[in-house]
Structure 1
Amino acid sequence: MNKLQTYSNLIKQESKRLGFESCGIAKADFLQEEASNLEQWLKNGYHGKMQYMENYFDKRLDPRLLVDDAKTVISLSFNYFPKEIQDDSTYKIAKYAYGEDYHHVLKAKLKELIFFIKQTIGEINGRAFVDSAPVLERAWAQKAGLGWQGKHSLLIQKNKGSFFFLAELILDVELAYDNPFSTDHCGTCTKCIDACPTEAILQNNTVDGSKCISYFTIELKDEIPPSMHGKFEDWMFGCDICQDVCPWNRFSKPHSEEKFNSHPDLLLMTKNDWQEITETVFKTVFNKSAVKRTKFSGLNRNIQFLKD
């Protein structure tokens, strides 16, 4: 076994120790195929009012513009599927937001991994990314052999499903690279397309972000369009419909990260509790949660929209 393969194996072992389920390694290069897809997606206005998606177009496609002399992109997945979920009779939040904000939890683990790599290989430069920078994480995860992009555009892994976070390290050191995941195991299944109540999932593994329930309940700062009344199926922050109906998620197993466990009150709250929620309760239940991103006023707006 050569030195690069040894380093790659050690990095994968350490990532598993830190709690990551999968780790794949790809050569840092320009994403040729994704360039035209991203350009067309933006031209079609599928980003809605997420103006930030128009920024850093070149950096989204070339990791060498994010890290000088970048040679490697390490992609990692981290399970967040909960042991218990909210009752279907209440207003719901996406499962990824049950516990502490994943940005902070995973960033700390990535810093540990970078420290390990520096101790193992020597002086290297790199950056850690957790859904907070212009990185096309699903494309890199597929190139690193982690899985394939489903019709709902999310990455799917055989025997694991899609309830996981993705994170990346971009490094200026060469490693042994994995083969891309080249097989689409969705076949003729259209369950996610058929189940989406706002018809946001289009053909060719494309999602019209401007129609997605997650967009309306998290990203959109304006009033939710009246035309969407009755279409959210009680989702007040994010949405898991396309994942919940996906046959591959029958393989989802509960995570073992304590920080992703929900506040005990979250699973007990009824529609009436949510309708009467105070800012104090909001701060208690969502103390360190990603739901804080929408603020009390945003969540209240969503609840009122569902109630009306």
Structure 2
Amino acid sequence: MSNNSAKYSMLIKNEALRLGFMACGISKAEFLASEAPRLEHWLNNNLHGEMKYMENYFDKRLDPRLLVDDAKSVISLSLNYYTEDKQADSDAPKISKYAYGQDYHTVIKDKLKTLMFFIEENIGEVSGRAFVDSAPVLDRAWAQRSGIGWVGKNTNLISKQNGSFFFLAELIIDLELDYDHPFQTDHCGTCTRCLDACPTDAIIAPQVVDGSKCISYLTIELKNEIPAEFKDKMDNWMFGCDICQDVCPWNRFSKAHDEKAFKPENGLLELSAKELTEITDEVFKKVFKGSAVKRTKFAGLKRNIDFLKSED
């Protein structure tokens, strides 16, 4: 690597941390050979449920050079969303921590645009694209390659320093940089807490999740009715699920985020079980304005809450 590559990499990492990202790692943009058979096996076994979009752009998912012309580097970034805040009513239908504040797609996209602008301003003419969970990019594979952490048995990326309550995002650019070493060690050991705790048995083997059984999938991605087989197994989750992360020993190292945009808004955490059970479209629009929960739309959230109510 040239001296410039090392200098530019340090420049980018420092700016990423200044923007509030928790970690920044860089890997070479190339074909993900080891991921190809795993992805193929997962899709062939229909472990993606109704997420048919996962079948699209198979080649692009594995090769960033098909997403960005002349791509040289994948800059992986993590952003903490861990919070100690909790819903006031312990009987209220539950919402995943990541959705307490504003939609992370918007928050992270803005940070990535700022980082891209910084690169152009300070390094020169660099082309690239920003990705936040909305394009065929295998976030965890790239984050692991760039040294941020390892893929745990629950398939979440885990960091020794920070646990797993963080988002992942990427900038794929046509600039050669200094590349970090992949995170080689798996620190899950013999622990099976996530597998044991999942009420729907969605983690069917270490690092293999049957998406069609995952509570996050059932409450967000699934567009049809929730199958009756999941009655009494939803653990009162109305949007997303944190169980496999809450039980993970590595999350004792999670520290509360200081991202203003992720602070709970509009009285969300104060809503009682009764208020959520009787939620109207008007209240939904007010409470979840700008939130990731809008993905389910009012009808989807109501379906989830009604399904939980039918379990009582």
TM-score normalised by structure 1 residue count: 0.98
Match of 2:160 in 1: 158
Q: How does 1:159-174 map to 2 (within 5 A)?
A: 159-174=161-176
Match of 1:12 in 2: 13
4+ residue runs over 4 A deviation: none
Match of 1:36 in 2: 37
Task: Quote the offset at 1:264 in angstroms.
Answer: 4.8
Q: How does 1:266-277 map to 2 (within 5 A)?
A: 266-277=268-279
List runs of 5+ in structure 1 lacking aligned partners.
Answer: none
Q: How does 1:181-260 map to 2 (within 5 A)?
A: 181-260=183-262
Once residues 86 and 78 of structure 2 are traced to their aligned partners in structure 1, the CA distance between those partners, rounded to angstroms, is 21
Contact 1:30 1:61 in 2 (8 A): yes
Q: Pick from 284, 287, 296: which aligns with 1:285?
A: 287
Matched, 1:96 2:98: yes
**CA offsets 1:161-207 (integer angstroms, 9 cap, x no match):** 00000000000010000000000000000000000000000223111
Q: Pick from 95, 112, 122: which aligns with 1:110?
A: 112
SS of equivalent to 2:282: helix
SS of equivalent to 1:84: coil
TM-score normalised by structure 2 residue count: 0.97
Instruction: Work out the percentage of aligned pairs sharing the same amino acid.
Output: 65
Q: How does 1:139-150 map to 2 (within 5 A)?
A: 139-150=141-152
Contact 1:83 1:255 in 2 (8 A): no
Once residues 75 and 198 of structure 1 are traced to their aligned partners in structure 2, the CA distance between those partners, rounded to angstroms, is 31
Once residues 305 and 92 of structure 2 are traced to their aligned partners in structure 1, the CA distance between those partners, rounded to angstroms, is 11
Task: Quote the offset at 1:55 in angstroms.
Answer: 0.2
**One-letter code aligned to 2:201:** E
Corresponding residue pairs, total: 308
Once residues 219 and 302 of structure 1 are traced to their aligned partners in structure 2, the CA distance between those partners, rounded to angstroms, is 12
Once residues 165 and 253 of structure 1 are traced to their aligned partners in structure 2, the CA distance between those partners, rounded to angstroms, is 14
Contact 2:154 2:206 in 1 (8 A): no
Task: Quote the offset at 1:159 in angstroms.
Answer: 2.0
RMSD: 0.9
Task: Quote the offset at 1:89 in angstroms.
Answer: 2.3
Once residues 189 and 301 of structure 1 are traced to their aligned partners in structure 2, the CA distance between those partners, rounded to angstroms, is 35
Once residues 20 and 238 of structure 1 are traced to their aligned partners in structure 2, the CA distance between those partners, rounded to angstroms, is 23
List runs of 5+ in structure 2 lacking aligned partners.
Answer: none
SS of equivalent to 1:32: coil
